[in-house]
Structure 1
Amino acid sequence: MEFPELINRLESYGTEQNRKIYRRHGAGENLYGVSTANLKQLKKEIKQDQALAEQLWGTGNYDARILATMIADPKQMQPELLEKWVQEDRSYPVLDALAALAAKLPDPTVWIDEWTSSDDEWIGYAGWHLLAQVATHDKKYPDDYFAPFLSNIETTLQTSKNRTKHGMNNALIAVGLRSEALEAEAVRIAKSLGKVVVDHGETDCKTPDAIAYIEKTKARRAKSKQ
């Protein structure tokens, strides 16, 4: 698919209702308001196209950037480009999508280490979301890999910046759901931290209680196996 055709399709799929919702989630004004279903359909048609992904990202458009992360080729994604992308956007849904892409790279731990150590609220958030992605989807890492991050969460979450704090809480949940040993440590830390308060702006989003979320997810998983 050629770039002009793709942009035209993105624009045609946008709706004012989606634009209103996405703005409340930090999308800014450069957006079309394309549904997730339509983005997934475009991804299915395009599959992977690194050159097209880079063109989409360069527009600065919210929907185009999300699609860019979906069609980018992890094997062709250069470290310098990934670093550039994470520094260029301050919309958490785009950073969520970028972290999902980073998790597919040959060694995402490089970015986990760098981004979770960043003083930048949004890069920090991306790093913790990336850790959650790896904890959830990549089984090759031992429990010991996650232990230092849990210690970091215990000592710094409550004093971290708003969006970084949210990413850390989500990472605590994801790591806690990885194994029984990690669950026990995550629950202990959650009890030690107490209530985690995050300002979600004008959205209806809520910060999940880590212990309750872990228990609920475990129950759902057990039920699905019956």
Structure 2
Amino acid sequence: MNFESVMQELESLGKERLKKMYMSNGAHEPVFGVATGEMKPMSKIIKKNQPLAEQLYATGNYDAMYFAGIIADPKAMTAADFERWIDGAYFYMLSDFVVAVTLSEADISQEVADKWIASGEELKMSAGWSCYCWLLGNRKDSEFSESKIANMLETVKNTIHDSPERAKYSMNNFIYTVATSYVPLHERAVETAEAVGPVEVVSKDQKKSKFINASENIQKALARGQLGFKRKYVRC
């Protein structure tokens, strides 16, 4: 399948209901509204194809950008490629569920994510913390520096309440992921969640706020027997 046939197929799979849902979450035109599961038959045919992924990502079309993440070859991508992708990720469904997911399968994942976390830019920070969530939820505990993850927990504890709104979600999820998926620091993460408490996040239009609470979600996961949980795959 080439670029034109993929775009035609994506357009034919679009649903108005999903398009409205994506747009309510921050997507903007162009967007077709394709269910992610509907992309699987195409991805099985194409498998990994980095040049095609680059073409699709460059369209600015949400569905094409999402599909680019599915067929990308993360190990063929450089730090500059990931910087280009994060610059094009204009809302969290791209930064956290396309770019961060793709980055988590690259050999340079931690160094790129560290840079984004330190950037102070909302969606880069969100993608950086999200990348660690994907990593910790998939790779063996032995692949991580315990002292580094401990320091990151401390950073979250000290800065989450004053961080950009979208970054708060990813930082909250980082505490949860360490508690459930990274056994060496389970207790430390539980203590961090309790120390942080509920985190207020304000909607984009500043009209309403809600509270997210890692501690509650950790307790629910433990009740389900999910301590040490690892995903087999990160991408679809």
For normalisation by structure 2, the TM-score amounts to 0.88
Give the whole-Å Cα distance in 1 for the aligned partners of 2:218 and 2:135: 17
User: 5+ residue gaps in structure 2?
Assistant: 230-236
Corresponding position of 2:127: 126
Alignment of 1:1-226 (within 5 A): 1-96=1-96, 97-139=98-140, 140-200=143-203, 208-221=212-225
Give the whole-Å Cα distance in 2 for the aligned partners of 1:102 and 1:180: 23
Give the whole-Å Cα distance in 2 for the aligned partners of 1:179 and 1:63: 33
Give the whole-Å Cα distance in 1 for the aligned partners of 2:138 and 2:14: 31
Offset at residue 142 of structure 1 (A): 3.9
SS of the aligned residue for 1:104 comes to coil
* Cα offsets for 1:166-187 (capped at 9, x unmatched): 1110111111112444221112
Root-mean-square deviation (CA, aligned residues, Å) is 2.1
User: 5+ residue gaps in structure 1?
Assistant: none
Per the alignment, do residues 135 and 222 of structure 1 end up closer, same or farther by CA in structure 2, a change over 3 Å counting? closer
For normalisation by structure 1, the TM-score amounts to 0.91
Q: Is the CA contact (8 Å cut-off) linking 1:121 and 1:161 kept in structure 2?
A: yes
Per the alignment, do residues 32 and 41 of structure 1 end up closer, same or farther by CA in structure 2, a change over 3 Å counting? same
Letter in 1 for 2:192: I
> 4+ residue runs of structure 1 moved beyond 6 angstroms?
none
Letter in 2 for 1:66: Y
Aligned residues: 222
Offset at residue 200 of structure 1 (A): 4.5
Q: Sequence identity, in percent?
A: 33
Q: Is the CA contact (8 Å cut-off) linking 1:24 and 1:201 kept in structure 2?
A: no
Q: Is the CA contact (8 Å cut-off) linking 1:166 and 1:207 kept in structure 2?
A: no
* Cα offsets for 1:107-144 (capped at 9, x unmatched): 31111210111111111100010111111111121433
* Cα offsets for 1:55-80 (capped at 9, x unmatched): 00010000100110110112211221
SS of the aligned residue for 1:197 comes to strand
Offset at residue 28 of structure 1 (A): 1.1
